Amino acid sequence: MASLNVSVSQVHAALSRLHQRWEDAQSQWSDSVQRCFEKTYLMPLEDQVMVAQREMERVAQLIEQARQSVK
């Protein structure tokens, strides 16, 4: 389970880096194509990552409950 928690942390860190880099890009790129890219790719990706994180955390909890019940 520790590796699952590490994975959740890594996903969170990667999303944070993506946000930072996107903010950097927006300082140089601000037009209709940028807005379309953000709406088409980045916003859905963020939603999917958030769902994946929640599910990974839920699986980690279930694994921990299973371990406790076997002891």
| Domains of the chain: total | 1
What is the DSSP secondary-structure string of 3-42? HHHHHHHHHHHHHHHHHHHHHHHHTT--SHHHHHHIIIII
Which one is predicted more confidently, 22 or 71? Answer: 22
Give the pLDDT confidence of 5-42 residue by residue, as tens digits: 888 889 999 999 999 999 999 999 999 999 999 999 99
Q: What is the pTM of this model?
A: 0.76
Range of the domain at 64: 2-70
**Neighbour-count burial for 4-26, b at 16+ CB within 10 Å, e otherwise:** eeeebeeeeeebeeeeeeeeeee
